[in-house]
Amino acid sequence: MTYSHTGKRTLLVVILAVLLVLTFAVLTIDTADAAEGTAVSSEADFKKISKDLGGDYYLTADIKLSANTVIKGTFTGTLDGKGYSINMYSPTKLPGSEDYSTYCYGRFMKAEGATFKNIKLKGATTKVSKSWGDPVIGGLVGDAADCTFQKISLTGTTKFTLNGGLDFGGIAGKAENCLFKSCTTSSKSQVIAETTAERYVCIGRFAGQSDHNTFEKCTAAGTVSIKTAGQVRHQGFVDIGGGTDTYTNCTNKANITVSGGYYMPKVSGIGQIGIYDNCKNTGDITASFKNANSGTAVGGIMASYEVTEQLGKVTNSSNSGDITVTFSGQFTADRNGSDDAAVGGIASYGSAINCKNSGKIKVYMKTSSNYMSQCVPKIGGVIGAAGMGYWEFIEGSNIIQDCRNTASVTYTDNGTGPEPQVGGICGYTGIISESYNTGSITVNKAEGFNAGGIAGIAYGVENCYNTGKVTCKGIGNGSGIVGTYEYSDVYPGYLRWNYNTGTVTCEFYEGPGAIATMGYSKFGENTIYDNYTTKGKPYSRYIPDGTGAKVDSISFENCPGMSEEIWKMNKDKTRLIFK
């Protein structure tokens, strides 16, 4: 088959015509998209947003905004950054508000039902004046309700020099019922806050005051450094978790250093009260509290309150960051408040299912207390103190299940602090099941403590094991599984089907127990049975009725109480492990 020159020209014309049609179609689509919003390419354009608070806008360039430039009123539209940047709000003075009296400030003073996406927020330097009181400042939005923040990235250094108080969120100062999705802080980002004033300093990477928000696939990196003589809190993604926030597939990689804070100091890698699933902390947390008062809480992922109805739940999550906490000065607890010092690799207070900790936990108590019985340190590799909260969808009571700790847990006391509760999994808890510890547990205190490879004090420990060393340099209740077991009709757990292979060193009258040193059964019923150890005797003389045995090895033959539905032999055929 052949073509004439005329035919070739005709074919070329046809091809060009098709390309022109396709190009016109693409341009038409782009033009239609552009027509749906208003371009913002300068600070002057940004200010015009105040004329139509319900409009849709998009950036066409990086914009450098003046320190005090804000959009007043309530924004309800959309701002698409298209990957361009805006510098964070960094006021030299606080603006008034035309439509309502507020203490929340941001580039957008208030937003409701709005959408912000694809925006880079660059850091800024802010000097907070004492005359401002305790403002709530957001890098982008002051007060946000029912908003969506998607693919908002924080870059650069955010620095505060304070002689007053502050509640800060990198994206929103105050957020309620909002969605934060795929938001990030860069690996080179920094947050630095310093003050000598005894005022609140509360820092959240994404949100300040947080209430019933949802965080999905958010990641924080970089570093955080907060130094204050006043009241300090840092909750990773959020500061004050006033409601129940939800976190899914979220990660903190940032190293966090906090010092100061005498009232309710709380520090965590990700957040506070909430429901967490598949979350991770890899950053180290170092906190130093002077004259701490009421409700001290530090957790790798969550730092929640002691109050029962405000506890959270963490599932399928992990911590590998080291956590070091130092208390100094006078521990003056509020006798009517939440006043224990709780530290955990996963969380301070709450419940945990299928969680693991591989970060070292170190707590130093260089302090004294006015109310010794009300300032109890509760230290755990996974949870400081376990509790459930009031949510109906959580079953059980004070539960830790399928958790493991593989790192060392160390508590050191100068001898004047209250009686600590220290455990490889949990310091103080209701019921623990199907969990194990392989890390070393060390308590340095002259007298008075509860320490265990699994828990310091527990209402029930079932199907758990410990292989780590438990070393107590003092006189107290130290054991391979639980220092003190207490049966309770409210939390009816048992001490059963556990084993210990770790060495227990502790000064105690006639020696400690390898399973438990102190125990309290249900009246008229033995609730301590079928526990086994390869090191030392199972129980101290204070548990005369507990059943179990010292055995040569942990096998089904030697440990008949261990169910094959839960346990199996390891590859080396040396001991039982979970299926």
pLDDT at 32: 36
Note whether residue 506 is domain-resident: yes
**Residues 496-537: pLDDT tens digits?**
999 999 999 998 877 799 999 999 888 878 899 999 999 999
**Residues 460-473: pLDDT tens digits?**
999 999 999 999 99
- Report the alpha-carbon distance of residue 365 to residue 43 in Å, rounded: 52
**Residues 5-48: pLDDT tens digits?**
444 444 443 444 444 444 444 444 343 344 479 999 999 999 99
Q: Which amino acid is at 270?
A: I
Domain that residue 575 falls in? 419-579
Helix (H) / strand (E) containing 162 = strand 157-162
Note whether residue 139 is domain-resident: no
Note whether residue 549 is domain-resident: yes
Note whether residue 266 is domain-resident: no
- Report the alpha-carbon distance of residue 505 to residue 514 in Å, rounded: 9
Query: In the predicted model, what is the mean pLDDT of the chain?
Result: 85
Note whether residue 253 is domain-resident: no
> Structure pTM?
0.89
Average pLDDT over residues 193-199: 76
Give the strand pairing for 576-578 and 567-569: antiparallel
- CA max distance for the chain: 110
Residue 484 has pLDDT above 90, yes or no: yes
- Report the alpha-carbon distance of residue 523 to residue 213 in Å, rounded: 46
Average pLDDT over residues 302-315: 78
pLDDT at 4: 44
Note whether residue 508 is domain-resident: yes
Note whether residue 528 is domain-resident: yes
pLDDT at 477: 94
Note whether residue 531 is domain-resident: yes
pLDDT at 166: 84
- Report the alpha-carbon distance of residue 472 to residue 447 in Å, rounded: 10
**How many domains is the chain built from?**
1
Average pLDDT over residues 87-101: 74
DSSP classification of residue 560? T
Confidence category of residue 294, pLDDT binned at 50, 70, 90: low
- Report the alpha-carbon distance of residue 462 to residue 4 in Å, rounded: 90
